[in-house]
Structure 1
Amino acid sequence: MRVRVHDDLLITAEDESTALLLSGNGKAMSPMKALLASLGGCTGIDVLMILKKMREDVKEVNVYIDYERAKEYPKIYTKINLKYVVIGNVKKESVERAIKLSEEKYCSVSAMLSKTTEINRSYEIVEG
C-alpha cells in the first residue's frame, strides 16, 4: 500500500487493486472518519453475512455511527455508538446473535478500537 499526502492536504491511498481519496482539508472524508467507515463496513458485512448463513430474509444492513472524541490531542475516539438498522424479515434473536458474533469474533476493526474506546451497539429491524 502507498499513501501520498499532497501539498493541498488531499490524501490518496492505493493498493494493488483500488484507490481511496481522503483529505485533511475537508474536501473528502478525513482519516478519522474513514476509520469509523471501516468499522461500520466491517461489522455491517459481518452481520449481513451471518444473517444470510442463518437463512434469514435480510435485504440490507445500515450502520449509523455517533461518536465522542477526546478534547485534547491526539483526540482519539472515546465512545462510539453503532446502531444497526436491519432491513428484511428477520428474527430479533438472529440479529442479536449476528451482532454479538461480529463484536466478539469476526470484526477486526472493532477488536482493535475496543482496546481504547467504549463501543455501544443497538439495533432496529425494519420489515421489508
Structure 2
Amino acid sequence: MDAKVTLLQRMTFDATADSGFHVTLGTVPEVGGDDDGFRPMELMLISLLGCTAMDVISILRKKRQEVTAFEVKGHAERADKHPKVFTHVTIEYHVTGKNVDEKAVVRSIELSAIRYCPAQGMLAQVVPMQLKYFIYEDTPTGPQLVKEGEYVRPEDQT
C-alpha cells in the first residue's frame, strides 16, 4: 500500500492512496492551521471504526440477520502530553433490525476484533479497547433497545 500527503497551504494537506480517493487534512489555527480538514488522529479513529464496521455488517449479512440500520461510534481518550497517543478506545456497535440475534452480533464483533480488522488488530496491541454493542428492534414507533452488552477480547479477560 502506498499513500502520500501534499501540502496545499499553511497546514492544509491533500491526502491520497492507492484507491485514488482524496481527503483533506488540517489543524486548528493555534498551531498554524485553517481548521479546514480532518485531524490525522481523527482519521485514525475513523479508520478503525470503518474497518470494524465493514467486517461486522458483512458477517451479519452472511449470517442472514435482517439489519435495517447500523452505526459504529467511537471515543478515544488521548494522553495529555505529546505525542498525545490514544490511551483508551471505546467502540459502540449499534445494530437495528428485525429479530437480530445477540449471538450473531457478538460473534461478528469477535471475528472483526480477533481475525479480520487489521486496524483493530494493530491498535489493540498498544491501546486498551472496550467493545460495546446495542441491539435495537425496528418497530413502527421507532427503534427499541432490546439488548446491550460488551465483547471482551480473550487477551483482556481476567
Structure 1's unaligned 5+ residue stretches are: none
Counterpart of 2:14 in structure 1 is 12
Q: Indicate the RMSD between aligned Cα atoms, in angstroms.
A: 1.2
Shift of 1:20: 1.1
Structure 2's unaligned 5+ residue stretches are: 29-34, 139-158
Helix, strand or coil for the counterpart of 2:115? helix
What pairs up with 1:1-128 in 2 under 5 angstroms?
1-16=3-18, 17-25=20-28, 26-89=35-98, 90-128=100-138
Identity %: 32
Supply the AA of the counterpart residue of 2:109.
I
Supply the AA of the counterpart residue of 1:127.
E
For the Cα contact (< 8 Å) 1:48–1:60, is it kept in 2? no
TM-score (norm: length of structure 1): 0.93
User: Which shifted more, 112-121 or 1-10?
Assistant: 1-10
Structure number with greater CO (CA < 8 Å, separation at least 6) is 1
TM-score (norm: length of structure 2): 0.76
Helix, strand or coil for the counterpart of 1:52? helix
Structure with the greater alpha carbon radius of gyration = 2
CA distance in 1, matches of 2:115, 2:77: 25
CA distance in 2, matches of 1:10, 1:59: 38
User: Which shifted more, 97-106 or 9-18?
Assistant: 9-18
